[in-house]
Chain A
């Protein structure tokens, strides 16, 4: 019985973590972390952007093409 409760709370915790990660990823909150982790950044010869530089650069790119529909 105790085991079952343990498994359930573990599953719930994992599920909550996934939802939290998904929400952060969806709204762009974790974009800088994703950028640092990406293969392109790790192998690039140019210097890594700071959080502020990355934020502005990312917005300028995103809003230069249609990204919101009718």
Chain B
């Protein structure tokens, strides 16, 4: 009877999901209610988790709960800490959920709501969740080794080296592009700039409190910190209203870029307890609160989705970024569907804390489903505003003009009616000087979130507070990724430099610390500056580069996973990782080719460089701008070279993997699996961690 009830319940969930998905896919005409998105996503996730992840757990990986996990065998209270599965789920989710699933879907909304939503749901279920789950499993079986170490041991030395390079590449481009998102969110906004600037002294205060007053009392310090941050969000309005203070905090894009570069250097070189860690605590609490509030807001307000399912920009002429739906939708939405960066988390802290192998399904597969849901909510928030407003916020001035009636006419001409006065009124309501040309995704997401929040609490009166709360939330945790990433990058540079000259590798040698911090900051700082001064808006060139490097890392992770499955004798199931890997290689190679060689200057880096060179040759560039244009040409060629190197790395890796697999299959090479030896667990199957009442 119970079984029958279960079958009926799952059939109902599946039918509901299919119906909701059908509704959003086939709907035309009147705006669609956002509830359909939530129902479609949740039902698909439930079915994917219940069926596909169970299949992967049982057949493909054959999880074994009689086997002791690293946290049991090496329990040291530091790295290896047996942790309750719900707590570890929270840890893992907080680590994987960054700005990507919010910004990517917001940018991809230029194609309409449908392609991005379908990719978020299907990509997560069949690719992203599988990658996170399988890599977590592989790392658990290898005492928590990183994906780079596993690539070196299981594939080849070269595979490991490519993984290391991919991590450094993704780190550099990621930090530049998220820095650009922050610049575009804070540009000409004294309120937002003041709020974010004030989070630095708040973090320093918390750092000193946690270090000297109450060491390690994170909860009480975070409560104080969150209260102070909420206060400065409100206080930002007073700054914006004051003529003299407003001038101090109204910064240009270039000034903001240099401020962020200086901040990244300081966060990397200063002791971690002083600035980086307390900011991370603040960010974790505000991130969790804002994401749950957005989900609750969407369910309560049930906004209408005003964006059509498909826009005219599927043809590649989009104003936010240029390029056709294939492959650029799949490059733009990386996090939320599949993100290679997750493999670093799945083979980092999480495998060292997991209690039982079976928890890997809930934590690896489940946390990624939740991240995908965050992406769907971001898509809803972006698509709930009138399309004309969305394009006005996200289009660079070179495409629509810098402001006013001419830009409104251009956007209306695309079939998305907009009046210049609408933008003026909206900017006034959210407390901004202007909302035109604020590309990067953050301001449009903040407008969408503010409209949803203010419909729940406060109405239009609180729209400006909610907008700046949303901007603060996005910028705060973007900067957390930026400073943590810069520090990790610094360690990588020190590690590489230490091989050439030993003292450079010493983590406490101050000249080494300062020089390596300067090198990593200069690397991403250069791309950030280049993005800020790019007439096409920066996002157009940097976000696809970020997507390509992220998917490259995912391809590395899936090559490792496929190789391990092959060595485990699960040949009949390798399609589980092989198909997502093949898909990633196809989209990454296509996007790389188009970004380098496409003849449209808005897509191809070389075509843009050639067009600029032709303008100089034809005497169309004024003398005072020639130097600047030469720099722009150099930047485009540099971007083309970086894309080429990333594509070459993928090709080398694939060839390497194919040769390796062929050798295993024809038994020319012995299939050696580098798993830790089996040790039987001493824990009961229902043991849920010492802190949870089982001690």
Please measure, in the bound complex, the distance between the C-alpha atom of A65 and the C-alpha atom of B222, giving whole angstroms.
23
Report whether A22 and B86 are in contact in the complex, using a CB–CB cutoff of 8 Å. yes
Cβ-closest chain B residue relative to A22 = B87
Cβ-closest chain B residue relative to A36 = B77
- With known contacts A54-B216, A59-B273, A67–B77 Cβ distance under 8 A: no
- With known contacts A28-B218, A56-B273, A69-B341, A63–B81 Cβ distance under 8 A: no
Please measure, in the bound complex, the distance between the C-alpha atom of A61 and the C-alpha atom of B487, giving whole angstroms.
12
Report whether B341 and A21 are in contact in the complex, using a CB–CB cutoff of 8 Å. no
- With known contacts A21-B692, A40-B75, A51-B216, A67–B484 Cβ distance under 8 A: yes
Cβ-closest chain B residue relative to A26 = B90
Report whether B692 and A55 are in contact in the complex, using a CB–CB cutoff of 8 Å. no
Cβ-closest chain A residue relative to B207 = A59
Please measure, in the bound complex, the distance between the C-alpha atom of A45 and the C-alpha atom of B432, giving whole angstroms.
60
* Interface range for B: 35 or more
Kindly provide the distance from the CB of B283 to the nearest chain A CB, expressed in whole angstroms: 9
Residues of chain A within 8 A of B344, CB atoms compared: 65-66, 69
Instruction: Determine whether B284 belongs to the interface, using a CB cutoff of 8 Å to chain A.
Output: yes
User: Which residues from 492 to 546 on chain B have a C-beta closer than 8 Å to any C-beta of chain A?
Assistant: 507, 546
Instruction: Determine whether B558 belongs to the interface, using a CB cutoff of 8 Å to chain A.
Output: no
Please measure, in the bound complex, the distance between the C-alpha atom of A35 and the C-alpha atom of B690, giving whole angstroms.
12
Report whether B692 and A68 are in contact in the complex, using a CB–CB cutoff of 8 Å. no
Residues of chain B within 8 A of A8, CB atoms compared: none
Instruction: Determine whether B365 belongs to the interface, using a CB cutoff of 8 Å to chain A.
Output: no
Report whether B87 and A56 are in contact in the complex, using a CB–CB cutoff of 8 Å. no
Report whether B281 and A27 are in contact in the complex, using a CB–CB cutoff of 8 Å. yes
Task: Give chain A's interface secondary structure class.
Answer: helix
Report whether B98 and A27 are in contact in the complex, using a CB–CB cutoff of 8 Å. no
Interface-central residue, B219, B335, B345, by most chain A CB under 10 Å: B219
Report whether B219 and A23 are in contact in the complex, using a CB–CB cutoff of 8 Å. yes
Kindly provide the distance from the CB of B367 to the nearest chain A CB, expressed in whole angstroms: 11
Residues of chain A within 8 A of B285, CB atoms compared: 27
Report whether A66 and B341 are in contact in the complex, using a CB–CB cutoff of 8 Å. yes
Interface string of B52-84 (1 = CB under 8 A from A): 000000000000000000000011111111011
Please measure, in the bound complex, the distance between the C-alpha atom of A41 and the C-alpha atom of B79, giving whole angstroms.
12
Instruction: Determine whether B550 belongs to the interface, using a CB cutoff of 8 Å to chain A.
Output: yes
Instruction: Determine whether B91 belongs to the interface, using a CB cutoff of 8 Å to chain A.
Output: yes
Please measure, in the bound complex, the distance between the C-alpha atom of A40 and the C-alpha atom of B70, giving whole angstroms.
13
User: Which residues from 453 to 494 on chain B have a C-beta closer than 8 Å to any C-beta of chain A?
Assistant: 480-481, 484-485, 487-488, 491
Report whether A69 and B219 are in contact in the complex, using a CB–CB cutoff of 8 Å. no
Interface-central residue, A29, A34, A66, by most chain B CB under 10 Å: A66
Report whether B99 and A39 are in contact in the complex, using a CB–CB cutoff of 8 Å. no
Residues of chain B within 8 A of A62, CB atoms compared: 277, 349
Report whether B216 and A34 are in contact in the complex, using a CB–CB cutoff of 8 Å. no
Interface string of A14-31 (1 = CB under 8 A from B): 100010011111111111
- With known contacts A21-B691, A24-B219, A27-B218, A68–B480 Cβ distance under 8 A: yes
Report whether A38 and B75 are in contact in the complex, using a CB–CB cutoff of 8 Å. yes
The 8 Å CB contact of A63, one of B91, B342, B484, is B484
Report whether A70 and B78 are in contact in the complex, using a CB–CB cutoff of 8 Å. no
Residues of chain B within 8 A of A70, CB atoms compared: 98-100, 170, 174, 178, 334-335, 339, 341, 481, 546, 550
Report whether B219 and A34 are in contact in the complex, using a CB–CB cutoff of 8 Å. no
Cβ-closest chain B residue relative to A58 = B78
User: Which residues from 336 to 350 on chain B have a C-beta closer than 8 Å to any C-beta of chain A?
Assistant: 339, 341-342, 344-345, 348-349
Please measure, in the bound complex, the distance between the C-alpha atom of A5 and the C-alpha atom of B334, giving whole angstroms.
50
User: Which residues from 186 to 220 on chain B have a C-beta closer than 8 Å to any C-beta of chain A?
Assistant: 210-212, 215-219
Residues of chain A within 8 A of B271, CB atoms compared: 56
Instruction: Determine whether A37 belongs to the interface, using a CB cutoff of 8 Å to chain B.
Output: yes
Instruction: Determine whether A4 belongs to the interface, using a CB cutoff of 8 Å to chain B.
Output: no
The 8 Å CB contact of A27, one of B77, B86, B222, is B222
Instruction: Determine whether A9 belongs to the interface, using a CB cutoff of 8 Å to chain B.
Output: no
Report whether B342 and A29 are in contact in the complex, using a CB–CB cutoff of 8 Å. no
Report whether B77 and A68 are in contact in the complex, using a CB–CB cutoff of 8 Å. no
Report whether B484 and A38 are in contact in the complex, using a CB–CB cutoff of 8 Å. no
Report whether B272 and A52 are in contact in the complex, using a CB–CB cutoff of 8 Å. no
Cβ-closest chain A residue relative to B507 = A64
Interface-central residue, A32, A37, A59, A64, by most chain B CB under 10 Å: A59
Report whether B210 and A55 are in contact in the complex, using a CB–CB cutoff of 8 Å. yes
Kindly provide the distance from the CB of A35 to the nearest chain B CB, expressed in whole angstroms: 4
Instruction: Determine whether A3 belongs to the interface, using a CB cutoff of 8 Å to chain B.
Output: no
Please measure, in the bound complex, the distance between the C-alpha atom of A58 and the C-alpha atom of B693, giving whole angstroms.
25
Please measure, in the bound complex, the distance between the C-alpha atom of A31 and the C-alpha atom of B91, giving whole angstroms.
13
Residues of chain B within 8 A of A68, CB atoms compared: 95, 98, 280, 480-481, 484-485
Please measure, in the bound complex, the distance between the C-alpha atom of A36 and the C-alpha atom of B87, giving whole angstroms.
19
Instruction: Determine whether B389 belongs to the interface, using a CB cutoff of 8 Å to chain A.
Output: no
Cβ-closest chain A residue relative to B268 = A63
User: Which residues from 176 to 191 on chain B have a C-beta closer than 8 Å to any C-beta of chain A?
Assistant: 178
Instruction: Determine whether B96 belongs to the interface, using a CB cutoff of 8 Å to chain A.
Output: yes
Please measure, in the bound complex, the distance between the C-alpha atom of A63 and the C-alpha atom of B348, giving whole angstroms.
11
Taking Cβ atoms with an 8 Å cutoff, the residues of A that contact B are 14, 18, 21-32, 34-41, 50-52, 54-70
Rank and list the top 8 A-B pairs by shortest CB-CB distance, nearest first.
A38-B77, A40-B76, A35-B77, A52-B215, A29-B219, A55-B216, A70-B100, A66-B344
Taking Cβ atoms with an 8 Å cutoff, the residues of B that contact A are 74-81, 83-84, 86-87, 90-91, 94-100, 146, 167, 170-171, 174, 178, 210-212, 215-219, 222, 271-273, 276-277, 280-281, 284-285, 334-335, 339, 341-342, 344-345, 348-349, 480-481, 484-485, 487-488, 491, 507, 546, 550, 690-693, 695
Q: A55-B211, A57-B78 are in contact. List 9 more A-B contacts (CB 8 A).
A: A26-B94, A28-B216, A32-B216, A39-B75, A40-B77, A40-B78, A50-B215, A70-B99, A70-B546
